[in-house]
Amino acid sequence: MHDEAAPLILTLGLDAETQSWLESMRRAHFPPARNLVPAHVTLFHALPGEHLVETVSVLAAEASSLPPSRVRVGPARSLGRGVALEIGAPVVAALRDRLAERWRPRLTAQDRQRWRPHATVQNKVSPERAQALLLSLDALLPAPREAQAEALLLWRYRGGPWEALERIPFTAEAYPRASIV
């Protein structure tokens, strides 16, 4: 596969404390041989790599119009052979809907599906082991955790670990200042 044709992956950049916490959860529960990428919340799994410049331009324009926003992490949900933490991010969901509509002809079947944001902390384990972690997380996280969406992260997929390409921060002010007359 030519370098520029390798697919792009778009994920959500969370605040450093939450990202570190998710990373520690993933290190503790994900099979080490399969843990090749950082903890992440995927917006799109496979955008066309040959459209990198246009993709970055669209993402930069969108991100510049959005402030950092609140995100809910949790509760835990079963993946059958793993566990994920649900992510509640209404501002990001609206952004993802706009991008999906814009890019619809280029999207894979997986990326055309309804978005169910989550951070996988365990996968590819026995159903019994996954169920045990689900029960443990339900006790550990009786209420969802608050986090902040700070950026979009663009990666290049190369068949194993991802190559980080761009961090595109949300830069709009949360509450625009009133003009002084």
CA distance 142 to 140: 6
Q: Tell me: the pLDDT tens digits for 12-58?
A: 999 999 999 999 999 999 999 999 999 999 999 999 999 999 999 99
Which residue segments constitute the domains of the chain, with CATH numbers given? 3-169 (3.90.1140.10)
Task: Please choose, from the candidates 134, 127, 11, the residue with its C-alpha nearest in 3D space to the C-alpha of residue 74.
Answer: 134
- pLDDT of 2 > 70? The answer is no
* Angstrom distance (rounded) from CA 86 to CA 114: 14
Give the torsion sign (CA, 6, 4, 39, 65): negative
Kind and range of the H or E run holding 102: helix 90-103
The per-residue pLDDT for 67 is 97
The per-type count for the chain, helices as H runs and strands as E runs, is 5, 7
Classify 62 as helix, strand or coil: helix
Residue type, 43: L
Mean pLDDT in residue range 82-86: 97
pLDDT per position as a tens digit, 134-163 = 999 999 888 999 999 999 999 999 888 999
Asked if the peptide bond before residue 105 counts as cis, ω within 30 degrees of 0, the response is: no
Mean pLDDT across the chain: 94
Q: Of how many residues is the chain composed? A: 181
| Structure confidence at residue 178 (pLDDT) | 53
- Looking up tokens 């991010």 gives 89
Residue 30 CB neighbour total at 10 angstroms: 21
8 Å CB contact between 10 and 43: yes
Give residue 141's pLDDT.
Answer: 87
